[in-house]
């Protein structure tokens, strides 16, 4: 088993209890891998500080698995830390723009924490945005075209220099995520072993 530290980075209003975090955890724990899922603050600057502490302290190569907003955070980390690689799962490309429509009262889907999303949140996201990507060989994009929350074409264009698995259909939560677990493990070991992207029905499900 590779001595990689796997870190799942959950999305907006999500948590370590999310479906993909649990699926990945069950798979990696069964292999004896080191796996962690931080419960991220709704404040972007604080969330990044939480993640940076884990990444900077790791004595092992790090593979981030970033979903939605977690993909945005993971990108900033990969661009900063050479020992990081990342699997992006339906990633948010510009959350500082997207979340402008979510200003006001919000509630975490899993913890039920209630908070106010403010312009300061958007400013903190903007401060984390990477204008150019210099480490595209360290990204693997997993994208479903049926994503009802994000325009999948934005991620395909943003990570044009990376290896991409673009699957017709699906949804924002990434249907049949479990099918890609062997590919995630292979990428941690520096290999590309992707299945054929068989088309899926498009459904309207949250992540």
Q: In this structure, is residue 204 part of a structural domain?
A: no
Q: In this structure, is residue 93 part of a structural domain?
A: yes
pLDDT at 193 over 50: yes
Cα gap 37→41, rounded to integer Å: 12
pLDDT digits (tens, 9 = 90+) for 86-140: 999 999 999 999 999 999 999 999 999 999 999 999 999 999 999 999 999 999 9
| % residues pLDDT > 70 (the chain) | 96
pLDDT grade for 203, boundaries at 50, 70 and 90? low
Q: In this structure, is residue 74 part of a structural domain?
A: yes
Please state, in angstroms and as integers, the Cα–Cα distance from residue 33 to each residue in 72, 176, 193, 206, following that order.
24, 22, 19, 28
Q: In this structure, is residue 206 part of a structural domain?
A: no
Q: In this structure, is residue 193 part of a structural domain?
A: no
Q: In this structure, is residue 23 part of a structural domain?
A: yes
Number of domains in the chain: 1
pLDDT digits (tens, 9 = 90+) for 166-175: 999 999 999 9
| % residues pLDDT > 90 (the chain) | 94
Cα gap 101→176, rounded to integer Å: 29
Q: Please count the helices (runs of H) and the strands (runs of E) in the chain.
A: 7, 8
Q: Is 201 exposed, middle or buried (0-12, 13-18, 19+ CB in 10 A)?
A: exposed
User: Is-contact 91 141, C-beta < 8 A?
Assistant: yes
pLDDT grade for 2, boundaries at 50, 70 and 90? low
CATH number at residue 153: 3.40.50.1820
- DSSP H or E run through 26: helix 19-30
pLDDT digits (tens, 9 = 90+) for 26-61: 999 999 999 999 999 999 999 999 999 999 989 899
Cα gap 5→58, rounded to integer Å: 7
**pLDDT in the model for residue 205:** 45
């Amino acid at each position: 088993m590779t001595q990689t530290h796997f870190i799942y980075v959950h999305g907006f209003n999500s948590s370590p209890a999310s479906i993909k975090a649990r699926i990945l955890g069950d798979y990696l724990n069964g292999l004896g891998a080191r796996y962690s899922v931080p419960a991220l603050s709704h404040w972007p600057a604080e969330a990044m500080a939480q993640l940076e502490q884990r990444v900077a302290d790791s004595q092992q190569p790090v593979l981030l698995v970033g979903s939605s907003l977690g993909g945005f955070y993971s990108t900033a980390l990969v661009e900063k830390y050479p020992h990081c690689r990342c699997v992006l799962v339906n990633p948010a490309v510009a959350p500082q723009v997207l979340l402008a429509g979510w200003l006001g009262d919000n509630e975490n889907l899993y913890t039920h924490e209630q908070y106010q999303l403010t312009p300061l949140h958007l400013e903190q996201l903007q401060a984390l945005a990477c204008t150019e990507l210099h480490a595209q060989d360290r990204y693997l994009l997993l994208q479903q075209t049926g994503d009802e929350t994000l325009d999948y074409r934005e991620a395909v264009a943003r990570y044009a220099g990376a290896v991409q698995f673009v699957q017709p259909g699906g949804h924002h939560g990434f249907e049949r995520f479990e099918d890609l677990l062997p590919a995630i493990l292979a990428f941690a070991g520096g290999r590309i072993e992707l299945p054929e992207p068989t088309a899926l029905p498009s459904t309207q499900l949250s992540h």
